Structure 1
């Protein structure tokens, strides 16, 4: 192969990388389309200008370039998304959020900070990916309780996990790859705590940024804010007290019920008559109906996710019980619909229109801007603009789009928690983490088996698992892996390393180490962290030997720099995991990640020379 052809191939790869980064950052094309275009560009390039290995075979064949679609990394991420959806659907993570909230003694801002610190600590001992999967919905729940958009905390969640993973050998698979590469080069492998001291210093300084500065940089995502804002509506609802209800037998104290502090109790309906506050010496009993005002989340928490307690009592007409929602099938959703100005429903109450009027969904709450009546919700005449909280199968709710009497609020639909499956979902997830952490099964096998069990066990319906998969993740990982292998095979990465050495010349070892760290960190945001670690460990060892300094300093620099993939969603899998929940664009990672990358670089640059005696 001629030098000119090699230069052409390498230059073309660099051009594709620059073009992809520009398109990702400007968001002019859908992320999936940009990623797919990059893959197509590489396929065409190496079809007409192939790269051959030492055996004379095509090193960048279509099979190699498309391998990202079947890579263990991609399948692991997708499987963990399914596992996370299963934990979220069954309410397991809400309980963890409650524990964090209690640890913060009710201070919600402190709870968010505690959660991020816990993530960093746990990530030092466990794989970062399941840690982030666990805490994504936890952070969403905590953010919702503070009234803040979750988009302010999803990227910090990923960053906290990455920083925690820098502190021990098993904190990240990248660390293990560097250690194995050292052994292959004849150097001493890392021990468990080889770089814990510098890791704690770098992670500690980085966490200050993550906790106090990063959330201020991130946007208030409009889509998330809209959905979260919807939970702030105060719905009028009736809670029926049946046998086994935790509120049966509860007594009022000073005119209020302590166990109902999260909702506004408007009246207690007993024997067809309302009892209004203050409630003096009143004991709740079976058959009572509580007329309350609360948000959607507060309603669900009050009935312990048993939404059937919110169903209006039916008239007893034949067949009315047949269509009631079956919570056990895992397909139930909750949504909001608005009564149209010309609706037939105006002036009629729910009892008059019948509970089957809107295609097999049941009305469980009513919100009105002007006033909150103390009547039962099935006695309140409906008005134009009323918001009805409805429950039913997702297909039945979506069918309301064509209803002439109501408007479906598209952003309001959410799946109901299946708390009766919480134990099996927890067991499946803990089994996956345990097998992956102990090495009984590789992470990808454990995750895939766990995802399958979530569906087979009934903890997560098949449609829920399918919706948990994210096309952005699929195409981003596939494109990143294709670019990474292309840079390695065309000599692009080695070219950059040689250029760095030529640029620093005879500079002091401290300067060489700092420039090396920065170059690896930048490339880690373009390539995968694993590819960067494997590629630059031998380069770092070679530089250390050439200038006569301890190899460990440059090896640890590779560990930290390769983990500094904060400025791109393609660099680290946890960034991909939080991209969809946070509703982020590529440019959001650049804004938040570049400062953190520079902070880690500067901290290491100042600390490492003293620690390693350079």
Structure 2
């Protein structure tokens, strides 16, 4: 083994360990790997940032912008309203919802498709009397499956296509080259989910606002002058709250938090009680004791007079629940940092975090991906905060009627961009870049949302990892790894090698970013094909399928993270449906690969 091979494998091993650890963001780890490869002489300094001009990176960014235009124009809302039945049983309703998610994910970002359909799924779960997790997990998995059917459906497909172009010195995969295997896998996966697979998801009945619940909220309530609670002991307050199934977790006095106060401690005016309560019990708990919700301003005198007792809503002011999207701008920041009340006229009233211990004041808590936030404000202000910080609304909301002309134009632009790439009229990156220019020129997407709609951490991840992946090939490390993988299955032929490549890719993708997984495994797949003297197409397709199939954990894919809080799910819930689904994918994909892409 040569020094360059040892160095590149060491850098990749360190990067994978850091990906799995999760302490640092994937894009930062990828950039560190790139700089380490440059320092070790494995990547020429002049080529270090060539990955950012790679067609796959440009296409990913452009598809995200076009997806945002479809959302902003109301095109997807129109489709959703007409496609989801309103009076059918669980199986047919889930079939319509999951089928629509898979269809949308084939032509737009699958995280965006899930975000659009989550409010609908929550309403469906309430109507069917199902725990929300039993609707949200099938929806998330369906959107992941649908993404593997086209070139633009998911970033791994674009990365695989780029590796094919470099390996063959010709073209990458075409728009619908993925459809043969992708559609077979998607149909098989949806069949498993709909024919009873959704029943494997643990039924965790939780109750909450408007028939949907996210688990108990942590909220803060101030004891005003003259409140019934003033002068009572904490023990007496606990007894008064027992009927509402609320619990006092702590007391704040003079900005000092007392985590486990003496039950006989007397409560004074100005004290703040940290209360855990179900959303629908929150109002009665406050009303019974004359408490007021504490807002995100530390100065009690500055609190809004619109929030008194249990009067949480009015014609001008309403409540809404939002989930923090993966990599949302709000993640890692606290309500105090954001100044929601001062800047937007919105109050953060409560936080729901499944399975997490609370160790700080609510306004000082760092928000996390998957947290559910109860916010108060005008409809316009709540919408602005959701758009600015990357929040997904959970409760049913009034939507403006979509503009039919704008929706038609947005759908037309997307169709032309897809058609241009599919029929080989233009390279995919050029076709979709032209689509972005068209939606901006037609005013279908506000200019201020252009850069907000791009998932920059994914762009940085791809741009940084592509040169590192190239170094695996140039140093011969990929061929060496391929030989080690092939040793136990060499006598069994290409089918066994395909299954092994796909299984390894699936396993990595369950614990690290799917785009990063594809970039790491593509050189190995090419090395395997070379050693077998086989066509590389089947092995690259195996990587594309495996990288998209992250169903075992909530961290394997952004969509899995997105449903964790709203679905009331736990880390160990995903494998119950995810493991059978991955087995079905493997069983269907390998024969399909041998049929459509014979090695």
TM-score class, shorter-chain normalisation, is 0.5 to 0.7
1:34 aligns to 2:25 (yes or no): yes
Whole-Å Cα distance in 2 between the matches of residues 112 and 582 of structure 1? 19
Contact 1:536 1:558 survives alignment (8 Å): no
Alignment of 1:23-422 (within 5 A): 23-24=21-22, 29=23, 33-39=24-30, 41-42=32-33, 44-52=35-43, 57-58=44-45, 61=48, 63-64=49-50, 71-73=57-59, 75-76=61-62, 78-80=64-66, 82-83=68-69, 85-87=71-73, 93-102=76-85, 105-107=87-89, 110-120=92-102, 127-129=106-108, 133-134=112-113, 136-147=115-126, 153=135, 156-157=138-139, 159-164=141-146, 174=157, 181=164, 185=168, 201-211=184-194, 212-213=196-197, 216-217=200-201, 229=212, 384-391=309-316, 398-399=344-345, 401=347, 411-413=374-376, 414-415=382-383, 417=398, 419-420=400-401, 422=403
**Quick check: 1:518 aligned with 2:503?**
yes
| Pair 1:121–1:66, CA change in 2 (3 A) | closer
TM-score, L = length of structure 1 = 0.54
Q: Distance in 1 between matches of 2:111 and 2:2?
A: 45
**Aligned-partner SS, 1:384:** coil
In 2, the alpha carbon distance for the partners of 1:68 and 1:175 equals 10
**Larger-gyration structure (1/2):** 1
* 1-structure distance, mates of 2:174, 2:433: 27
Pairwise CA RMSD: 5.7
Counterpart of 1:603 in structure 2 is: 588
Q: 1:231 to 1:489 in 2, by over 3 A?
A: closer
Q: 1:434 & 1:198 partners in 2: Cα distance?
A: 22
C-alpha distance after superposition, 1:518-550 (max 9, x if no partner): 34555666663764786466445434536xxxx
Distance change >3 Å, CA 226–CA 431, structure 1 → 2: same
Equivalent position to 1:503, from 458, 481, 488: 488
CA-to-partner distance for each residue in 1:110-156, whole Å, 9 max, x for gaps? 22222212444576xxx442576456423431332322576655564
Any idea what SS the aligned residue of 2:313 has? strand
CA contact (8 A) 1:59 1:489 kept: no
Contact 1:128 1:162 in 2 (8 A): no
Cα deviation, residue 231, structure 1: 12
**What SS class does the counterpart of residue 491 from structure 2 fall into?**
coil
2:456 match:
474
CA shift in 2, pair 1:589/1:597, >3 Å: farther
Aligned to 2:533: 545
After TM superposition, give the deviation of residue 489 of structure 1 in Å: 0.9
In the superposition, the TM-score normalised over structure 2's length comes to 0.55
CA distance in structure 2 between the aligned counterparts of 1:593 and 1:485, rounded to whole angstroms = 32
CA distance in 2, matches of 1:485, 1:219: 45
Preserved contact between residue 151 and residue 221 of structure 1 (Cα < 8 Å):
no
Asked if residue 12 in structure 1 is aligned to residue 19 in structure 2, the reply is no
State the match for 2:248 in structure 1: none
Deviation at 1:215, TM superposition (A): 7.6
Q: Which residue of 2 aligns with 1:267?
A: none
Unaligned runs of 5+ in 2: 216-281, 293-301, 319-339, 350-361, 364-371, 377-381, 384-396, 421-425
Task: After superposing the two structures, state which structure 1 stretch, 440-449 or 586-595, moved more.
Answer: 586-595
Measure, in 2, the Cα distance between the counterparts of 1:67 and 1:191: 20
Question: 1:396–1:168: structure 2 CA closer, same or farther, 3 Å change rule?
Answer: closer
The one-character-per-residue Cα deviations of 1:455-505 (angstroms, maximum 9, x if unpaired) are: x56x7695xx489658xx432452355345323314454332122123334
Shift of 1:445: 1.9
Give the Cα separation in 2 of the matches to 1:609 and 1:461: 46
Does structure 2 retain, via aligned residues, the 8 Å contact 1:112–1:139? no
> Aligned pair in 2 of structure 1 residues 149, 476: CA closer, same or farther (>3 Å)?
farther
Taking the aligned partners of 2:540 and 2:166, their CA distance within structure 1 comes to 15
Structure 1, residues 386-445: CA drift from partner, whole Å, max 9, x if none? 332353699689546599xxx999613443755255335413431331222221784642
Q: Residue 508 and residue 530 in structure 1: after superposition, are their counterparts in 2 closer, same or farther (change >3 A)?
A: closer
Deviation readout 1:202-236 (Å, 9 max, x if unpaired): 333322334343685489799x977973799xxxx
The whole-number CA distance in structure 2 between the counterparts of 1:447 and 1:611 is 31
- Show CA shifts across 1:157-186 (max 9, x none): 454355446567897783896599489749
The residue that corresponds to 2:279 in the other structure is none
Secondary structure at the aligned position of 2:497 is classed as helix
Alpha carbons of structure 1 residues 397 and 527: separation in structure 2 relative to 1, 3 Å: closer
Distance 1:559 1:162, change over 3 A: farther
Q: Which deviates the most, 184-193 or 384-393?
A: 184-193
- SS across alignment from 2:547: coil
Alpha-carbon contact 1:514-1:601 (below 8 Å) kept: yes
